[in-house]
């Protein structure tokens, strides 16, 4: 059952593992493949019971291994003008088309294709395969796996996350944080509006706070140069959705809006939450409650992912540079699981086949030559881990 990375990519793309669908059939396929090569693995179910992650270790059961990390979920295809079946890998020239071909089943396929070589090698340092669910939405798959490192399993010291980077070594990405705001107003006929609290008027002030906070960061970054290599080089605040109110002549009882914050490495996403809470509790809520005690603002939040910060003399960077020959400094504007591994104390970089420009697009593709480069990278890694 030795398959090439292209043959494996063909199989993987055939599973429509969209983030909110089930990936259990894909996980079962990978499990059978690993078992066929005598590799023990563990399936870590997600709380939804419809998705799972895989963790496998090849080589000695000791600390200090290298994690190869990829995600199994893909983004939806609905509404996208595909010219071929997104879940059938379709070759045209040097390109292979299919949902996830680039982001990031291409890397997953290369890692699985390298399994027989990993098994045959005399590894002195373990290689761990980590394939996760739910990267595109919450990154909870990676969190569930990372929680168990050093407890149920040995603790690795290096992680290569194979997000598409054209096999360049990426040492930085932004973090992500989401804040949900629910403004609770007090409903009256608008002819009597001062006896009510308009959730929409309040939300408008809060949305403006978000924009002004973003503009303040922008102005500071433009004065200081901002976060090196990032474009834009500041932590950006953005309101993505807003809804509220029921009629033109009623003060709105409810208004909901969602803020996304892209945090540059070195900045602390939580400080925006603290400043925002402070503004709401001091300057907004008292006037609302003076009109009606039930009026107020609920704020909920979650950290979507930690930023990836360039490490001082990081081992992951050293290994990836040795194997790729790439000595440039690259950062990416998207979030990834790399920041979570790094936050767990594991030296981490991103290095994977394909170009992020093709990710999430209709007619997503990856070049065969990118898979070939990744195959060579993994062969080099196996050699390094056998020394």
- Alpha-carbon distance 238 to 210, whole Å? 7
Nearer to Zn ion, 10 or 135 (CB): 135
Nearer to Zn ion, 198 or 348 (CB): 348
The CA-CA-CA angle for residues 336, 174, 335, to 5°, reads: 25
- Alpha-carbon distance 19 to 10, whole Å? 19
Q: How many helices (H) and strands (E) does the chain have?
A: 11, 15
Which among 24-32, 146-154, 159-167, 265-273 is the span making contact with Zn ion, rule CB under 5 A? Answer: 159-167
Q: How many other C-beta atoms can be found within 10 angstroms of the C-beta atom of residue 104?
A: 28
- Alpha-carbon distance 17 to 141, whole Å? 14
Nearer to Zn ion, 163 or 214 (CB): 163
Nearer to Zn ion, 163 or 363 (CB): 163
For residue 380, the minimal CB distance to Zn ion (Å) is 23
Does 103 bind Zn ion (CB under 5 A)? Our answer is yes
The active-site residue out of 73, 134, 214, 370 is 73
Does 187 bind Zn ion (CB under 5 A)? Our answer is no
- Helix pair 315-324, 368-385: axis angle to 10 deg: 120
Number of residues near Zn ion (by CB under 5 A)? 3
Binding mask 106-125 for Zn ion (x = CB under 5 A): --------------------
Does 104 bind Zn ion (CB under 5 A)? Our answer is yes
DSSP 300-347: EEEEEEPPB---TT-HHHHHHHHHH---S-EEESS--THHHHHHTT-E
In 3D space, the residue among 143, 110, 139 whose CA is nearest the CA of residue 127 turns out to be 110
212 is catalytic: no
Q: Which residue is nearest to Zn ion (CB)?
A: 103
Which among 79-87, 101-109, 227-235, 262-270 is the span making contact with Zn ion, rule CB under 5 A? Answer: 101-109
Q: Are 142 and 341 in contact (CB under 8 A)?
A: yes
β-bridge pairing 95-97 and 52-58: unpaired
- Alpha-carbon distance 72 to 135, whole Å? 8
Does 134 bind Zn ion (CB under 5 A)? Our answer is no
For residue 186, the minimal CB distance to Zn ion (Å) is 44
For residue 372, the minimal CB distance to Zn ion (Å) is 20
In 3D space, the residue among 164, 134, 70, 143 whose CA is nearest the CA of residue 341 turns out to be 143
In 3D space, the residue among 176, 165, 380 whose CA is nearest the CA of residue 263 turns out to be 176
Nearer to Zn ion, 139 or 202 (CB): 139
277 is catalytic: no
Does 337 bind Zn ion (CB under 5 A)? Our answer is no
For residue 307, the minimal CB distance to Zn ion (Å) is 16
Dmax over CA atoms of the chain, in Å, equals: 81
The active-site residue out of 103, 134, 135, 337 is 135
For residue 320, the minimal CB distance to Zn ion (Å) is 17
- Alpha-carbon distance 277 to 160, whole Å? 37
Nearer to Zn ion, 103 or 370 (CB): 103
Q: What is the DSSP letter of 195?
A: G
Which among 97-105, 150-158, 198-206, 212-220 is the span making contact with Zn ion, rule CB under 5 A? Answer: 97-105
Which among 100-108, 185-193, 203-211, 309-317 is the span making contact with Zn ion, rule CB under 5 A? Answer: 100-108
Nearer to Zn ion, 73 or 214 (CB): 73
In 3D space, the residue among 266, 131, 250, 140 whose CA is nearest the CA of residue 195 turns out to be 250
For the annotated catalytic residues, the residue numbers are: 73, 135
Q: Which residues bind Zn ion (CB under 5 A)?
A: 103-104, 163
């Amino acid at each position: 059952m030795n398959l090439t990375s292209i043959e494996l990519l063909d199989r993987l793309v055939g599973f429509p593992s969209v983030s909110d669908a089930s990936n259990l059939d894909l996980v079962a396929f990978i499990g059978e493949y690993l078992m066929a090569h005598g590799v023990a693995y563990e399936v870590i179910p997600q709380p939804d019971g419809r998705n799972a992650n895989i963790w496998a270790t090849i080589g000695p059961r000791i600390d200090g291994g290298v994690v190869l990390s990829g995600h199994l979920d893909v983004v939806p295809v609905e509404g996208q003008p595909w010219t071929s079946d997104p879940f059938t890998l379709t070759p045209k020239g040097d390109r292979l088309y299919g949902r996830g071909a680039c982001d990031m089943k291409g890397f997953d396929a290369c890692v699985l294709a390298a399994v027989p070589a990993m098994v045959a090698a005399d590894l002195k340092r373990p290689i761990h395969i980590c394939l996760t669910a739910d990267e595109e939405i919450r990154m909870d798959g990676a969190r569930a796996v990372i929680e168990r490192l050093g407890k149920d399993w040995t603790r690795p010291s290096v992680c290569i996350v194979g997000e598409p980077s054209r096999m360049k070594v990426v040492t930085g990405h932004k973090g992500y944080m989401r804040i949900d705001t629910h403004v609770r107003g007090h409903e009256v006929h608008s002819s009597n509006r001062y006896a009510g609290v308009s959730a929409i008027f309040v939300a408008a002030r809060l949305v403006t706070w978000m924009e002004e906070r973003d503009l303040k960061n922008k102005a500071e970054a433009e004065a200081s140069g901002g976060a090196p290599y990032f474009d834009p080089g500041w932590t950006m605040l953005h309101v993505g959705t807003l809804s509220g109110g029921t009629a033109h002549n009623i003060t709105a009882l409810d208004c909901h809006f969602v803020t996304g914050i892209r945090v540059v490495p070195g900045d602390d996403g939580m400080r925006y939450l603290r400043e925002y809470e402070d503004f709401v509790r001091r300057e907004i809520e008292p006037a609302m409650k003076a009109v009606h005690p039930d009026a107020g603002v609920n704020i909920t939040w979650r950290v979507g992912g930690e930023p990836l910060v360039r490490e001082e003399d990081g081992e992951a960077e050293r290994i990836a540079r040795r194997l790729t020959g790439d000595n440039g400094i690259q950062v990416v504007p998207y979030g990834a699981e790399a920041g979570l591994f790094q936050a767990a104390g594991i030296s981490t970089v991103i290095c994977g086949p394909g170009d992020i420009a093709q990710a999430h697009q209709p007619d997503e593709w990856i070049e065969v030559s990118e898979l070939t480069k990744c195959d060579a990278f993994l062969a080099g890694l196996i050699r390094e881990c056998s020394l």
